[in-house]
Structure 1
Amino acid sequence: MSMNYSLMKRAAEQGKLAHLLLFYNSGEKERTEAALELAMLLNCSSVKDRPCHECISCRKISQENHPDIHILKLQKSSIGIEEILKMQENIYKKPFEGKYKVYLIEQADRLTLPAANALLKVAEEPPENTLLILSTANSERIIATLRSRAQEVYFPVPDKDVFLRNGIESETSGEIDYELAYKLGGRDPDLIRRIVAMGTERVENWLETYLAVIKGDFLKMYSLFPLDKEEALVLVQVLQIYFMKEITEGRVPPAYLPSINQAVIALQRQANSRLAIEVLALKQMRIGGNTLG
């Protein structure tokens, strides 16, 4: 059963926090900030109003340079067993200077099966004063054996006005159509931020060009490139949002969606971006691009 962040914080204050947590939904930024806030609460030196955000421990954690707080970020297409075994070399040692050691694994859904299985040892024999946090947009992508041992913590998507005001504007300067970015990103904070970073108008143009391609003008495919892998992945994720809306509103058949999902997986596995987009377009043209408005 899932709990929200407030209940989790109360459990931490009462010393009843599980050793393995699974943060899911919302955006990676929101989940990481919550993990750091929790690490501050557990290690804050203040006698009241923890975390104080002012003590040495809180400041080190907020700056991500505390020796007992570790963040494992995705460096390749997946998180391999070598990275998990390296983490395990230190996880059973006592905290260096804090009260708790905290390990955060971002994009934990990208753990390989051997890496996820290696984490089971920690889940089954949790070290004292150590917290392991798995962070993912979708908890169902975590293998069942690992997920069953974790306390799930749900993060709601930020309110639209709050997100547009605080979530992305502080990270970007210049003329950006934030409303359009929010629409293209389908309320996915991570995708919206990438759209803003790449240029909202550019991404909208990619979408319009791709739709023209599958309606029959295949020559327009050449104007889409060069797209690097990250740009291609953003385009395909925007297509997911677009077609899910079109399907929900009954304008196109559900058959458009599986090939998009396959393209997302292929690009996450470092497939050639041009080949992935061209294969996707050909599959969708066979379905019948003329069904699109």
Structure 2
Amino acid sequence: MKLNFSLIIPVYNRPKEIDELLSSLSKQTFSEAFEVLIIEDGSSEKSVLIVEKYQSQLNLKYFFKENTGAGASRNFGMQIASGNYFIVLDSDVIVPEQYLSEVSKTLEANYTDAFGGPDAAHKNFTVLQKAINYSMTSVLTTGGIRGKKKAVGKFQLRSFNFGISKTAFHKTQGFSKMKNGEDIDLTFRLWENNFETQLIDTAFVYHKRRSTIKQFYKQTFGFGTARPILNRKYPNTGKITYWFPSVFIVGLTISILLAIWGYLTLFSCYYLYFLALFFDSFIKNGLRVGFLSIITSLTQFLGYGLGFLKSQFFRKK
């Protein structure tokens, strides 16, 4: 089956980021034709002028709709797309030149009805963006589950960079109305309908993520609240590892209290962990990113851990 790609990109008040994304898509080495659908989700800062800039370079279609959220906007784009394989990207990513070629080559060799790709930090990212990327992808923080084949079993898709066939979309009806965790929810429904997923580790994107610590905390808190909901919705998918960030935060709190009373053993364990984290990030990214990685990793654990506990024990019935 010949694959015809439709790229679906929802956007909300991010014209500058759409400019960077479309610029990167215009440089693809992929030789086949592909279409790009920009779904403006009720933005007050519209991207229509940016889209017009690239009309001569890309097969671009622009749609403005009322604000219904990213999941519904992705579904809207896939419903009207003309291709038979959809690739969904967040508006805050930059796509390497070889991205579509890598996707096409992998799917030709090992076809699956859905795939996900990892993210990386671009050399031009800010120090904070590089630190956030480290925290979200490092083996020391997430176990490397967000982008290393050796660290994953059946790959759970992430909405910032994934693909799904037209057949699988129509069978699953795409994204649910969940505000957080909607990509994992879609993954589970794909598996329930016997569709296979895979990680294409060469199909990475540069993901700018949130630009402040406060925004990053809010994002990871949302991730944490989603997981117990998913565990209840799909009882056979729960894992003990999902509790680790919450246990980490509770343990850190206890270690600080014990240290005040002169018991330093547990606190020393946390000290050594953050020291290892600093040196790992320092070696990979430099001194400033190394220091900031401690803050972003703690923010990630705190956000996810507290969100998980709130959803697990205090969710409204």
What is the TM-score when the length of structure 1 is the normalising length? 0.26
Structure with greater strand percent? 2
Structure with greater helix percent? 1
What is the TM-score when the length of structure 2 is the normalising length? 0.25
